[in-house]
Structures are given as C-alpha cells and as structure tokens.
Structure 1
Amino acid sequence: MPPLTRRAFTLGAGVLAAAPWVGACTNETPGGSGEHVVVVGAGMAGLAAARRLADAGVMVTVLEARPRIGGRTWTDTSLGVPVDLGAAWIHGTQDNPLMDLVAEIGADTVETDFENVTVLDRDEPVPDADVEAAGSAWADAMDEIYRAGADAGPQTSLADVLARYVDVDDPLIQWLITSTVTAEYAADPAELSLRWFGQEGELDGPDVLLPNGYGQLVAHLSRGLQIRPDNVVTRIDHRGATVTLTTTQGTVTADRVIVTVPLGLLKTGAIAFDPPLPEAKSQAIRRLGFGLLDKVVLRFDEPHWAAEPDVFGVVGADAPVSDVVNGLRFSGTPLLVGLRAAGNARDREALSDRAAVEQVRTALGLPEPTGALVTRWAADPFARGSYSFLAVGSSPDDQRALAEPVGDRLHFAGEATQEEFFATVHGAYLSGLREAERILD
C-alpha cells in the first residue's frame, strides 16, 4: 500500500485543557511605545507572528473575527471528548518547528500509521490481497504521473492523464485516488495542476497526534498577547505613513499590518484594500486553489468496530466519506471521524446534520450514534474552505507573489504563502515567523 498520509485537517482526539486563551484576549489598547503592528487573524500564522514580535518588545494587537482563536485549528468538546475539527496532526517530526513548541510545554505525542487501514465495501471488509494489488498498481501509476508532470503544460490537470496509467473504473483505484489525492489536497484531480502535483516539501519522521490537542499549542502561543475577538476587518487603508483598518468595532491605526486570513477569504474580496493590491498578488489570489475537507464525527457509547486499524477506507462511487479515522486508536473512545473532500464535500454541505450523519452511519452499517458533529468549512464565513493547493494554471510563482509585502507596511502570511509547506500547520507557523522577522530586520 502507498502511504495514506494526511498533511492537514484531520482528527485530533485527546484530553484538552480548558481554553486558557480566553484570559489572553482583551479589548483594551496595548500599552507601551514604539512601532505598533496589527496582525489580522489569530490562527497559527497570526499567533506565530504576534508571539515573535511581542517577545522582541514590539507592541502588537491581534484582530480576530471569531469569538475564539486558533482559526482552522479548532477543538470541540461537545461530545464529551475533544475532537479537532480542523488541523490536528504534526506531519513529520524531524526539523518541524512545531516540535519545538511541543517540547516547550512538555506535550505528549502519539505516532499514527495510515497504512494500517481496513477497506470496506458496503460495510464488509475487502480482502487484503485485493487492496494490496490495487495499491501496487496505484503506486506504479503514481511514478508515471510524476514523470509526466515534469513536461506538463500549465493548463493540464491530474485528471487529464489518470486514465492513461490506471483503471479509473476499478472501485479500489477510485478509492485510492479519493483517499490519497482528493482528501490529501482537498481538491479533485481535475482541479490539480499536473505540473506541480506532488512537488511540495515533506519532513522526515512520523505523523504524530497530540493527545491533548492542538489547543495547547494555540494557548501557548497566545499567552499574554493582546487579542481582540469578534473584530471583523473589512478595509485596510495603506496609503499613508500609517495603516488604518476598518473593523466591525471601529478603526485601528498601526505602523504595519500582517494579514494572515485564509486564501479562501481573500478570494471573496471580504477585505477591501486601498490602494488595491498589485496585479501580481491579485492574480495569485485568483489562480491558486483553495480546497475543502469536511468531517462527520460519530460518537457511540460502545464500539461496534475493530480496535486495530487506524483508518477505515470506504469504497463506492457515492460513498459519503472516503476514510474514517478510528478514535479507539488514539483516545480509547468509541469515536469515528469520516472525511470527505472537494466536490463530494461541497455537494453535501447543504445536507442537514441529521441527513449527513445518517448517510455515514448507513454506509458503515452502524446503529444510531449518541452524538455527532458535522463541519462545513466552505460555508464558514471566515475560512471559505480548508487549505490551499496548486490549481490548474497556477504555480509556485503565485505562492511567492502572495507572500510578497506591499510597500513597507502591508505584509501577508498564512499557509498559502508558504511555498514549500503550504496546506500544513507548520507551513502556516513558518510563514508567521517569516513576516515577523521581516519586520524586525
């Protein structure tokens, strides 16, 4: 089997401490003197930038549209056990800056293995030999696809060449495509650039979960920061010697601003820039892709499935989810987290929670759960999706253009601006540090 990796946006279950970040938020204007930097967005990129600047003695204000911090890292405890509805895994432990944060707070980690999978077809296990054969064919096809990408034009998609190398009508191949491509990149093959497919960087070491959740890293980064929640930025005027931000709670003036909102939000034009952004940046925002990965979480009083596999794969052209993460493996809790991505997720966001849960429950042959959660990241007004990808017609040049400051006062960070590690939490974190260091230099 090829590795079933997950770079972002998967389950995190564990014992999460009460949300200590609430005490770090304030509506007071920070004191002190000297340059004032405003950070727009309290996700991982924004908190990384604010933490670095504040530690260097810079006066920093973080404006966050939501009533909570963390952005696309979001731990929910309403089912009686923490579930990360956004990012949860640390992807690669070697030279990963997030591991420094883990060490600072003494957090526990648990290795996970996405090759430890049981594939289901109409709630019945598919023979291992069949899965292995399909996996071998898919691995061979991937080698050919990577070679084809080296000579591909900018408008060629991954979907344009799939049938050349693999039987796309084979149900197991369809699942492998959905699991290892669509759920990995939060995009359908027709959306993905063949030229840049698989060109992102990867860190060595295992994928690990934080048993106590990403919330502990968010809390650690936010300690003592001046954070203003429920503060939606609608306009950024960067014409003069200072920057003026128009928000739902009034105006804020700063010497510099770092915009860390998701690419999906930038695509909507929800924040107006005066003067408008340079053409290269505007075109980068338009060309880069912003994908979708949603979850359906089912909680039970007792398990009705095997404790061994980390993941259950779900075969079927109309399967409501492609993969289901086994909470027994990581929390000891009878919890399942179904993943669905791209078009499958977009099509099903209109379903009610009850209908979404019923589809997954039926596909897995399970009784009624005692609780459930359903995410809709595309409908989230402050995200409009999950994470970025290199779409047909885009290139790393667009990621670099998105990362470029505008003049001396307007900066940009976020996973979509990180060329090597886009679509990851460590990529977002590194982008925040990059802009903080740019200002400090």
Structure 2
Amino acid sequence: MESRKNSDRQMRRAGGRMKTRSPSVIVIGGGFAGISAARTLQDASFQVMVLESRDRIGGRVHTDYSFGFPVDLGASWLHGVCKENPLAPVIGRLGLPLYRTSGDNSVLYDHDLESYALFDMEGNQVPQELVTNVGITFEQILEEINKVRDEQDADMSISQAFSIVFSRKPELRLEGLAHNVLQWYLCRMEGWFAADADTISAKCWDQEELLPGGHGLMVRGYRPVINTLAKGIDIRLGHRVTKIVRRYNGVKVTTENGETFVADAAVIAVPLGVLKSGTITFEPKLPEWKQEAINDLGVGIENKIILHFEKVFWPKVEFLGVVAETSYGCSYFLNLHKATGHPVLVYMPAGQLAKDIEKMSDEAAANFAFLQLQRILPDALPPVQCLVSRWGSDVNSLGSYSYDIVGKPHDLYERLRVPVDNLFFAGEATSSSFPGSVHGAYSTGLMAGEDCRMRVLERYGELDLFQPVMGEEGPASVPLLISRL
C-alpha cells in the first residue's frame, strides 16, 4: 500500500496529469443539495458516490404517486418564477408546468389575497373586504415591527414585537372577527417559517432574498427534476452515515451497517435537524464556530395532510382558511384542484400544531384535518385516500427547514456553509439568501461542488488557471451560482 502511495506521488510530481485515478468525492445526502453537488463534480470528471440513508432520493422533496397522480409531500413551490432563480432553467428545459399562485407583493408570500376564502368557526364566510383590510393592517404591523427592532439592540420574537406595536399604536389592535383574521395572517406567517411567532427573530425575519416573479406550484411535482439531475450518478440508497473521519489526504466515511468508503473529500448535504441530532460523529470534532452554527440555527416543522376526494365540493379558490382567536387554532387548506385538476385538499399545520399532530396516528391526523374542513363545509364528503407527512419525527430529516431564532445572527447560514478542510457543506440551511427553499438547497449544492472541485484540484496541482470556470462551458442545465465569500 505504501509503495503504491509513493508511486502515485511520484507520478503526480513528474507528469501532473499522469496519476492513475480521478479525484474522488463522497456526497452524504441525496436531496437537492447533495444531488446538485454530485452532478457538478461528476460533470467535472470526478469519481462521485452519493450515500443516502433513505430508500429514495430527494430528501425533503418527495413526490408521491399513490393516488394515481403526483402529489408533493414536501416542497412543492418554486419561490421566484424568474430567470434569476437558479432552478428555473432546469425546470423550463424539462417543460414542467408551473401554476402561479401570487405576484411579487403578496403579504402572505406564496398567495395573493383574492385567492382565499376564509371562514369563522361557525362556517360563515368572512367578507372579502374585511380580509383585504386586515391584510393591510398586517402589513402596517410588520412595518412597525421593523421600526421597533431598529431602535433596540436586543433581539425579540415576532410575538414580543407585536405586543410592543400594539402598545404604541393601539389603533392597530383589532377586535372580534377582525382579530381572528389577523391571527390567521400570523398563522400563515408561521407556516412560512415552519415555526411559532414566539421563536421567530424580529431582527432577521425578512433577511431572506425574495426573488421576483411570484411563486409557482410544481403541477407535476418535483420528482422529475431530481431524477434528471441524478441520472448516471452512483447513488447508494439505504446507506446511513454514522462517522466521518477527515485527514489531510482524504476522508473516510462509515455507515450504520459498518461499511467504509474513502475519498479525497466529502460534501455533507444532510438536513440541519440531522446535524443537530449528533447521529453523525466527526473525527476530529468540527470547529467550535461550525458547531455553534449547527446548534444556533432554528429548524421548524410544517407538515401536509393530503386528502383525496371523489369530487370537488368546495369553493374555486386556491386556499380555504379557518380563522380563530389564536394562530394555533387557525387552519388552511391548499386546493390542488385549481392547479392540477385533481379533487385534492392539502391541510398544512406548522410549528407547535404540527408537532402535536405528529403524535397522532395517520388515521387520527387525517380525521383531525377533516374535522377542520367540516367546520367550514358541514356537508363535506369524507376523503377516499389520505397521505400524512411527518418531517419532524422522520429520523432522516428531523424537521422541515431552517429559520432564524431569537437572539442569533443571520450569518449563521454562511458559517454553516464554509468548508472545514476537505469537508464541504450544502443544503437549504447553508443558504443565507434563500434558506428553507429548494432553489436554496440546489444553489448551495452547486457552490459546494465547485468549491470542492477547486480545492481538490488545487491540492493535486492540477488546477488549470486558463480553463474556463465551470458553468461557462459546462452543461447549461447546471448554472453556477457564484459564492458571496
């Protein structure tokens, strides 16, 4: 073994390009970040292997076909339907249709106000004029929250900031039905972050970059995109990584079943929840600044309870909502019929409500969602099929996506992305511009792949400074997002 090492070293010294093997990388995690990193490296003629703990690729992107048509149990939107979105060219080239659910200025992020039908607990529809007016008040409250945070050094939660705004501007405090509608807006905001308002940072809540072009629902689901990116890559399913050893000359990765794999470098693209759980041991330990980023970033839960009916019996709007005295008591259903033509409603609990529902069986969770529907539509027909996601308790995810918690800086995302020796990090939680999104995961995979390529070739002394940067002459479907560092 030692003589082979010496021989390899001599060949590298003598001929630069005469070494007997291509640079090698192990990618840990087969979600969008991991697959885009693997695609980037394989297209650069690296030996690439992806180790994925699940029996499928995609991670928190999971298109289910058990109803006879595609339904996304995880991510389902392209946030920012525009050429600036790194995923847009891939989706466009595949000819996949998008159903646009909002313009640029939606106060609810992924839907326009007029696409809702809200109801009270007795099943009475809330007048549209009231919904619109409360939406304007909600926007005013958010503007006041920004003023409050700018005046104070210490961070606070969105809930605390609401209280301060109401004490300063009592006219923004609403009563009765209007108060309940405001709570529903807050509930939707909590859904965006997959977390409760009392944990979301008022300093950092709007630091994400919202791309123009509104939001598009993936009508046929995300699976065709991930399958296309993964084509031809060596992917080992059912390989749960438990240990990563890094040395100056390479990495050794051990899986749960005792298998070991070695390579020049590794890209770590597992969810933040998995990193937080400590189920992967690093040797030597990760630096303190990296571990702090893992510990201090928030990870929230938003789930889907998908109800398939025999026929449509609900209003022709994109979202049905139930307003209540607290955001916890509010509900909302996505109407997939309008976008896909299939009689499907998707109940979407987030934060504490999502955690509580995860304690139920699938049948009880589906019954809970149907009960919310019956509040607003008493004659609702029972569903013929149901699907329930459990992103919080799934050991492969342990949460839905990241968010900024109170008192912690937004640059934690960037810290989580920065490489450690020959370990490179990718995933939505490493994107300071687009956290919690598929295009955020995808773009950080491209960055990690390119960073890894440069670092490994640099070490081999093979970096050709006169070669075009990857992406300039590389595959058009994998654009390079240039690092901000």
Partner amino acid, structure 2, of 1:431: T
Q: Secondary structure at the match of 2:173?
A: coil
CA contact (8 A) 1:326 1:337 kept: yes
Q: CA deviation at 1:320?
A: 6.5
- Is the CA contact (8 Å cut-off) linking 2:207 and 2:410 kept in structure 1? no
Question: Does 410-419 or 206-215 show the bigger shift?
Answer: 206-215
Where do 1:216-227 residues align within 5 Å? Answer: 216-227=224-235
Query: Equivalents in 2 of 1:322, 1:33: separation in Å?
Result: 56
Cα shift readout 1:264-304 (whole Å, capped 9, x = no counterpart): 11000010000001001111111110010011111100111
Asked if the contact 2:184/2:327 (under 8 Å) is kept, the reply is: no
- 1:357-398 CA-to-partner distances (Å, cap 9, x unmatched) read 222212222231111111111100010010000111221221
Amino acid at match of 1:399: Y
Q: Does 1:50 align with 2:35?
A: no
Structure 1 residue 89 and structure 2 residue 77: aligned?
Answer: yes
Pairwise CA distance, 1:149: 2.6
Give, in whole Å, the separation in 1 of the partners of 2:35 and 2:352: 31
The size of the alignment, in residue pairs, is 407
User: Any conservation in 2 of the 1:314–1:323 contact (CA below 8 Å)?
Assistant: yes
* Cα pair 1:60 1:225 within 8 Å, conserved: yes
Supply the AA of the counterpart residue of 1:53. L
Match of 1:424 in 2: 437
* Long gaps (5+) in structure 1: 1-31
CA distance in 2, matches of 1:37, 1:152: 46
| Residue correspondence of structure 1 range 128-147 to structure 2 within 5 A | 128-147=128-147
1:403 is matched with 417
Give the distance between the partners of 2:237 and 2:93, measured in 1 at CA. 26
Distance 1:154 1:270, change over 3 A: farther
% identity of equivalent residues: 36
Quick check: 1:377 aligned with 2:376?
A: no
Change in Cα spacing, 1:347 to 1:42, as seen in structure 2 (3 Å) is same
Alignment of 1:279-298 (within 5 A): 279-298=288-307
Residues 301-357 of structure 1, C-alpha deviations (whole Å, 9 max, x = no match)? 011112x21111221248666221001111111100011101111112101222222
Match of 1:364 in 2: 373
Distance 1:323 1:428 in 2: 26
**Alignment deviations for residues 169-197 of structure 1 (CA, whole Å, 9 cap, x no partner):** 72111111011x20011111111111111
Deviation at 1:37, TM superposition (A): 0.3
How far 1:91 moved relative to its partner? 0.6
Q: 1:48 to 1:194 in 2, by over 3 A?
A: same
User: How does 1:71-90 map onto structure 2 within 5 Å?
Assistant: 71-90=59-78
Contact 1:146 / 1:198 at 8 angstroms: preserved in 2? no
Aligned mates of 2:152, 2:283 — CA distance in 1 = 38
* Whole-angstrom CA distance in 2 between matches of 1:290 and 1:108: 30
What code does the residue aligned with 1:347 have?
D
Equivalent of 2:194 in 163, 173, 186? 186
Match of 1:387 among 401, 404, 428: 401
Instruction: State the secondary structure of the residue aligned to 1:193.
Output: coil
- Out of 20, 34, 53, the residue aligned to residue 65 of structure 1 is 53
Q: After the TM superposition, which residues 247-396 of structure 1 pair with which residues of structure 2 at under 5 Å, given as runs?
A: 247-249=255-257, 250-306=259-315, 308-316=316-324, 317=326, 322-365=331-374, 366-396=380-410
Contact kept in structure 2, 1:233 and 1:248, CA below 8 Å: yes
SS at match of 1:384: coil
- Aligned partner letter, 1:353: D
1:34 and 2:37 matched: no
Q: Return the letter of the residue paired with 1:410.
A: L
**Structure 2 residue matching 1:188: 3-state secondary structure:** coil
**Structure 1 residues 313 and 401: alpha-carbon distance in aligned structure 2, compared to 1, 3 A threshold:** same
Q: Which amino acid aligns with 1:119?
A: L
For residues 128-175 of structure 1, give each alpha carbon's deviation from its aligned partner in whole angstroms, at most 9, with x where no partner exists: 122122112111111111222334445421111112334377211111
CA 1:158–1:168 in structure 2 vs 1: closer, same or farther (change >3 Å)?
A: farther
Name 1:197's counterpart in structure 2: 205
Which SS does the other structure have where 1:97 is aligned?
Answer: coil
Paired residue for 2:89?
Answer: 100
- Tell me the residue number matched to 1:434: 447
SS of the aligned residue for 1:194 comes to: coil
What TM-score comes out, normalization by structure 2 length? 0.81
* 1:207 corresponding residue in structure 2: 215
Q: Which has the larger radius of gyration?
A: 2
Say if 1:319 and 1:363, in contact at 8 Å, map to a contact too: no
Between the aligned partners of 2:151 and 2:349, the Cα distance in structure 1 is 31
Mapped to 2, the partners of 1:320 and 1:358 lie a distance apart of 16
Equivalent in the alignment of 1:245: 253
SS of equivalent to 1:190: coil
Contact 2:195/2:300 (8 A) holds in 1? yes
CA contact (8 A) 1:236 1:243 kept: yes
C-alpha deviations, 1:10-30, integer Å up to 9, x for none?
xxxxxxxxxxxxxxxxxxxxx
Match of 1:120 in 2: 119
Q: Hey, what's the Cα distance between the residues in 1 that align with 2:227 and 2:154? A: 41
How far residue 53 of structure 1 moved from its aligned partner, in angstroms, is: 0.7
Counterpart residue identity of residue 138, structure 2 = W
Compared with structure 1, are the counterparts of its residues 137 and 318 closer, same or farther at alpha carbon in structure 2 (3 Å cutoff)? closer
Where does structure 2 lack aligned partners over 5 or more consecutive residues? 1-19, 103-110, 166-171, 375-379, 455-485
1:73/1:152 Cα in 2 relative to 1: closer, same or farther (>3 Å)? Answer: farther
Letter in 1 for 2:277: T
The one-letter code of the counterpart of 2:278 is G
Question: RMSD in angstroms over aligned alpha carbons?
Answer: 1.6
Q: Decide whether the 8 Å contact of 1:291 with 1:385 is kept in 2.
A: yes
CA distance in 1, matches of 2:276, 2:399: 11
Q: Which residue of 2 aligns with 1:13?
A: none
Match of 1:164 in 2: 164
